[in-house]
Structure formats: structure tokens, C-alpha cells
Structure 1
Amino acid sequence: MGLELYLDLLSQPCRSIYIFARSNNIPFEFKHVELFKDSVLGKRPAAGSGAEQPRAGPSNSQGTGKVNLLKKVPALKDGDFTLAECTAILLYLSRKYNTPDHWYPSDIQKRARVDEYLSWHHANIRANAPKTMWIKVLIPLFTGQPLPSEKLQEVMEGLSTSLKQFEERFLQDKAFIIGSEISLADLVAIVELMQPVGVGCDIFEDRPRLLEWRRRVEDAVGKELFFQAHEMILNIKELSNIQIDPQLKEQLAPVLMKMLK
């Protein structure tokens, strides 16, 4: 049995793995897991025809649970071997398929820079960027009411601070985070920063250095692949059509509100 990747492209870590695998021509079976459909959030009403999302396997949350005991995506299954967590999967793919050195350099200092960014990223960019989606789409979906604008402003201020640090500490005047070529650090960063864009918060506006970096990342992985991977997040407001069980709403709404305190 070949390599299987269990992914939901609404998830930013899943998008990084999908883009990495496709851009490096890694053969895999795409197990499309839809976390927001027939799962925790409820069910979509019957829909008409639309753009088909890339998939090479059934949408099956139970199947993912058998692969990943944490029942989360992303998840990898390679024969009898299973693996969870984005960075671990990216490094496994990089090593097994001997991807070009610039992704995770053999040079010890460049590799240390990738590791440094990934460590900083989780406590900064990842701690702020996804909250915009929760505030503008998901929490109103559960509560039936928009959050106060002050809450979004608070999150955007935190994200702005992280973006300033990103530009000054990591990007500086370089084409990419570790130099002249794209690395895993750039890929992990860009998928996270597309979350706010998907809900109408254009963080690249008025940040020319950041915008030019984004364009270079798009070119490096291929624009068609980049936008294919981000098609769902750029249409995230369609989630407002999901029908959620009232009892589930009552149970999860207070939990979601606590996430942003």
C-alpha cells in the first residue's frame, strides 16, 4: 500500500503538506477529510454543482481515526507506519523522498534557521492568524451573533505585532526566510497568513515587503497549485450555510468563546 495523506484543506497545516507533496511530485493518495461536514459542526444542506475539490479518496472521518488516534488532521499512513503533526510529516516526506535541499537544508546553520522560525511561528503567527477565522465566521456561526468589533481589533493588533517581527527578524531584506530559495519555513508561514485573507482581512495590504515575499512563494510552488490549495479558505464564508444541531450549538458556543479570552 502506498502513501496516504489525510487532509482537510481548510486546515493551514494540511495545506502546507498538500502543497509540499504536490510541488515535489511525491506520489500519494489524498484522503479528503471534511472536518466541517458530517462531523463535529453538523451537516451542509444539499448543494448544487460546484468546483470539485481535489480528492483521491473518500471523505471519511472514522477512517482518519483509525490512522491517527488523536483523530486530527493532518495524518500520514505509509504502509503500517502512521504519523501525525505537520512538522513531523513535512520532515518525513522531505527525508524519504529526498526533496531538493533548499526545503530543509543540509547546511547546519540554514537548517537551524528553519528550526528557529518554526519554533517562533507556533507561539506567534499561529497563535494569532487563525483567530480571525473564528471571530469573523465560526463563532458567529455557533452563537448567531457577531463578536464585538473590539475583539477583532485586539486580535489584529496582536497579529500586526507578529507580522512586524516576522519582517524584521526573519524576512529582513532576503527573498525568503533563509535566503534566496524557499524553505519549509516559508511554506508553513504563508499558509497561516492566508487564513485572515480568507475572511476579508488583507494583511498584505500596506506591507509591500510581505506582499512581494508572498508573490515569490506563489511563484516558487506554482500559482495554480497555490490557489488550488487555498480555494476552500478563500471561500470560507460558504460555511455560513452549514446547518448545526441546536443542542451542539448550545454545548460548543461557550467553549469557543473561551478560546478567545
Structure 2
Amino acid sequence: MTSIPFQAKEIALRKLQHMSDEYIQINPFKKVPAINDSGFILTESVAILTYLCNKHKKSNWYPTDLHEQARVNEYTHWQHLNLRLTGSTLFQTKVVIPAIKKQPPTDHELEKWYKRWQGSTDGLENVWLNRSSYLAGNHITIADLLGICEMMQPIAAGYNLDTKKFPRVQDWMERVKKETQPYFDEVHVVSMRLREKILKEEKQKIY
């Protein structure tokens, strides 16, 4: 998609490999992702994406035009306390925390974070995608990569996008998926398996 060469290094979070002494030397915050570019270690997804685009001159993904770049930055700053926070917390509340504590989530917590995720999705629908066809303009950028990955977290947890309420979001997601194939499906293989498992379990509970 970008032709930027890389060597993938998988970190199994379920095995707590991100907590190992070796990984802490790379990211002392014990988070993923991180890159090691010939000895230059960098963490945080937004910083990594902008760095790679700047280094390899991928201006189609991270524009050099001042105004276009500012639009990408505007979205990536907004997402941290909005879509990224609400989507990831909803996923953690339904999937991660119950797995750690060995007890189901409360309806109150699920409803609270679901409503907040809906609020963030409304921001996509009526602000970002109301003024342009993509999150930061009229062509796909790293803003869209970040945005769709955050949207996929609640979906992986078994939730559905309300397509009647958020038609622009639905259309945008379909276009981003199409433009990033086959990588989109490859990246989300595990999360889609999780979704199928959750939906199957929920269906069994009903019957």
C-alpha cells in the first residue's frame, strides 16, 4: 500500500510479552506499537505514522500542504479523548476486564461506554464526515487509518454500527476498507474471530 519496507515483530499481549524486560527497553510504557528504525526507537501510533510518511515522502497519506496537514493533525489530536478513548474503553469493559477478573461486566458500565462511543461516532457523522468525504479531506490519509481501527474495536466486541443513524460513517468505512485491501482483512482476522465468538455466545444465552 505504501511500499515502505519493514520487518514485523509480533508482540503477544495475551502472553504479556509487552511486560517483559526486553520490551520495556523499547517502550517503558509497556504499550504497542513501537518501531526501531536503525536504532531510532519511536512509540505512539500517530507519531510513528507521521514519522514514516515524512521520512519516505508519502505525502498522499500525510500531506505536506500546510492546511491539509493541519486537518490530519486536527483529527489525530481530537481522537485521543474521543473515539480512541470511548471505543477502546468499551472494548476493554466488555472483553478485556471481564477476562482478567473472571466475571461479566455490569450493564451499567457497558451502557455508559456504549453511549459515549455513540457520541464519538456522532462526531464522525456530523462533523468530520459532514465537511469532507474522508476524516481530513477528500482523499484517504493516516487519519482514516487511525479512525477506522478505533471503530473496529467495539465491532470486534460484538457491537454493530447503527447504519440508519450514521450513514456517512458506514459509507466512509466501506470506502476505507476497499482502499486498504487486502491489508484491512489481514489485520482484522483475529478481531473478527473474536466478534464471531462473542456473537455466538450471546445467541446461545438468548436461547
TM over 0.5: yes
Q: Which amino acid aligns with 1:31?
A: K
Deviation sequence 1:9-59 (CA, Å, 0-9, x none): xxxxxxxxxxxxxx2121111010111125489xxxxxxxxxxxxxxxxxx
Structure 2 residue ranges without an equivalent (≥5): 199-207
Question: Aligned-pair distance for 1:168?
Answer: 1.3
Residue 171 of structure 2 is matched in structure 1 by 212
DSSP 3-state at the match of 2:42: strand
Structure 1 residues 104-113 or 135-144, which shifts more?
Answer: 135-144
Runs of 4 or more consecutive aligned structure 1 residues displaced over 6 Å after TM superposition: 237-240
Question: Aligned-pair distance for 1:144?
Answer: 2.3
1:179 aligns with 2:137: yes
2:80 to 116, 122, 134: 122
1:171/1:164 CA distance change after superposition, 3 Å: same
1:112 to 70, 76, 79: 70
1:131 to 85, 89, 94: 89
1:97 to 48, 56, 68: 56
Residue 226 of structure 1 is matched in structure 2 by 184
The alignment yields a C-alpha RMSD, in angstroms, of: 2.2
Residue 205 of structure 2 is matched in structure 1 by none
> C-alpha distance in 2, partners of 1:40/1:73?
7
What TM-score comes out, normalization by structure 2 length? 0.86
> C-alpha distance in 1, partners of 2:144/2:136?
9
Q: Which has the higher contact order (CA 8 A, sep 6+)?
A: 1
Q: Which amino acid aligns with 1:90?
A: L
1:170 aligns with 2:128: yes
The count of residues paired between Structure 1 and Structure 2 equals 197
1:66 to 25, 37, 45: 25
1:36 aligns with 2:11: no
Question: Aligned-pair distance for 1:210?
Answer: 0.8
> C-alpha distance in 2, partners of 1:200/1:72?
24
Q: Which amino acid aligns with 2:37?
A: D
1:147/1:71 CA distance change after superposition, 3 Å: closer
Deviation sequence 1:122-145 (CA, Å, 0-9, x none): 011011001222222122212222
What TM-score comes out, normalization by structure 1 length? 0.69
Residue 159 of structure 1 is matched in structure 2 by 117
Structure 1 residue ranges without an equivalent (≥5): 1-22, 42-60, 241-261
In the alignment, is the contact (CA less than 8 A) between 1:64 and 1:75 conserved in 2?
no
DSSP 3-state at the match of 1:190: helix
> C-alpha distance in 2, partners of 1:145/1:67?
33
More helix by share: 2
Q: Which amino acid aligns with 1:75?
A: A
In the alignment, is the contact (CA less than 8 A) between 1:175 and 1:216 conserved in 2?
no
DSSP 3-state at the match of 2:62: coil
Percent of aligned pairs sharing the same letter: 33
